[in-house]
Amino acid sequence: MNITNSYTRLPDRFYARQDPAGSPDPLLLVWNRPLAEQLGLGGLEEDPELVARWFGGNQLLPGSEPIALAYAGHQFGNFVPQLGDGRALLLGELTNREDGRPYDIQLKGSGRTPFSRNGDGRAALGPVIREYVVSEAMHRFGAPTTRALAAVSTGERVRRETALPGGILTRVAASHIRVGTFEYFAVRRDREALRALLDYAIERHVPEAAGAESPALAFFRAVAQRQARLVAQWMALGFIHGVMNTDNMAISGETIDYGPCAFLDEFEFDKVFSSIDRDGRYAYGAQAGIAQWNLARLAEALLRIADDKPAFESVLADFEPQFRSFYLAFMAPKLGLESVEAGDDQLVMDWLGHLEENRLDYTLSFRRLADRLWSEDGAGFGEFETRWKQRLARQSPTKEQVREGMNAVNPLFIPRNHQVERAIDAAIQGDMSVFQELLLVLQRPYTQQPRFAAYAEPPGEGERILQTFCGT
């Protein structure tokens, strides 16, 4: 193991040194063996007690210098000049053997830090389980995301509305630099720090920007493009992040901070699950607009060390058409289209309109649509289906090929809210088997798994989850 700490080479005001508090009785609940192997941690499953001490915060990984990162952020539109890692610690970086790049290893729920404010620095097991299963599913869907390496129960109760078992998630990320990290130094008018942060972020995430005429602008353009693509992919998957504050938007373009997130059951453009999102600021259909709003905050921060405001504005103006084109590129194969033609955006809108009007399950409808290729009765997807078949008739693949292609990109299994809740409830009772089974099913989300067919089903009336919570 060779853990490095590039962030500690940045000026002191970027972070606070802090050791994890340690857990009274750390127990390894889940270990992501394939990911561990990629990170050079193969074989550790043979010593689960050591792993529990490391990732329960009781013992430092050799070479690790734990730090809490400073950042600010706009939360629901309101600027908070100091947030920072209040319950997380960056242990350092490990190189991923698959791409040769460094990945942050972070403990989440490992105790108080100088940024904790009134928080206890802890995490309840529920949100740990949720982040684990949803982030790993996101990875299977091919969307950029932070990942989960381990979940440990601490043996300690945390006080939320009730006393709940505590947990620590080990998160792996391309980095933990957020839009809010730039905002933190911008509001302090700390141009030296902004320059250092920009150089660091460029080196780590957009190395090609280093040689550009304006590295800040080239960096911004790349970040904007990644966000446009990410949000398009979320929307194609039916995913609602739920709390797209600027401190929860990673510069790397990875999905980060799985709080009150959820996948849609029936399609609804304005759907909100999060209990704290009363105005629907982060509703399903609002996400592209919010990403653009967050990018405007990043542009403002960067403009403290760059000029050419109109160039930044033009990148921002390009966001919406860029998002649309990514979104169409994700949606076309879901509808069996080989390529995107003029008019396909309308076809997608017609599809969504049909789903919404008939309150149909978003995920399963794509699979059912593929089965309609051979049907000619009127029982399917109404007028949309007729237009869709006319559109398919203009391309060459056979029905079998179309269905195969659709099923390869339309998941049968998603981490449905009610299934995630079931896994959490059992885990809180000390039973990890429900979680393990859900995780297993989600490892092959596109494949029929007859034993687990029930996992593909939308919630029954009594199972419906109406709200999700941050749980912090």
What dihedral do alpha carbons 442, 275, 113, 62 form, nearest 10°? 0
Interface residue with ligand AMP among 42, 62, 119, 321 (CB under 6 A) is 119
Interface residue with ligand AMP among 53, 87, 171, 178 (CB under 6 A) is 87
The H or E element containing residue 149 is strand 147-159
Q: State the binding string over 290-319 for ligand AMP (x if CB under 6 A, else -).
A: ------------------------------
Site for ligand AMP in 44-83 (CB under 6 A): 83
Is 86 a residue that touches ligand AMP (CB under 6 A)?
A: yes
CB 194 within 8 A of CB 155: no
Is 257 a residue that touches Mg ion (CB under 5 A)?
A: yes
Site for ligand AMP in 250-279 (CB under 6 A): 257, 259
- The single-letter code of the amino acid at 17 is R
Q: Which is nearer to ligand AMP, 83 or 306 (CB)?
A: 83
Interface with Mg ion by CB under 5 A: which range of 195-203, 246-254, 265-273, 377-385? 246-254
Tokens of 87: 């319950």
Q: Which of 170, 169, 150, 138 is nearest to 254 (CA)?
A: 138
C-alpha pair distances (Å), 221 with each of 208, 209, 246, 316? 12, 9, 17, 9
- How many residues at the interface with Mg ion, by CB under 5 A? 2
Q: How far is the CB of 86 from ligand AMP (least distance, A)?
A: 2
Q: Which runs of E-coded beta strand occur in 174-224?
A: none
Largest CA distance in the chain: 69
The yes-or-no answer on residue 425 being catalytic is no
Tokens of 68: 């809490």
Interface residue with Mg ion among 175, 248, 274, 417 (CB under 5 A) is 248
Tokens 């390496």 belong to residue: 149
Interface with Mg ion by CB under 5 A: which range of 146-154, 183-191, 223-231, 248-256? 248-256
Helices 399-409 and 309-334 pack at an angle, to 10 degrees, of 130
Neighbours of 118 (CB within 10 A): 5
Is 84 a residue that touches ligand AMP (CB under 6 A)?
A: yes
Which of the residues 85, 247, 257, 265 is marked catalytic?
247
The catalytic residue positions are 247
Residues that bind Mg ion (CB under 5 A): 248, 257
Residues that bind ligand AMP (CB under 6 A): 83-87, 115-116, 119-122, 247-248, 257, 259, 470, 472
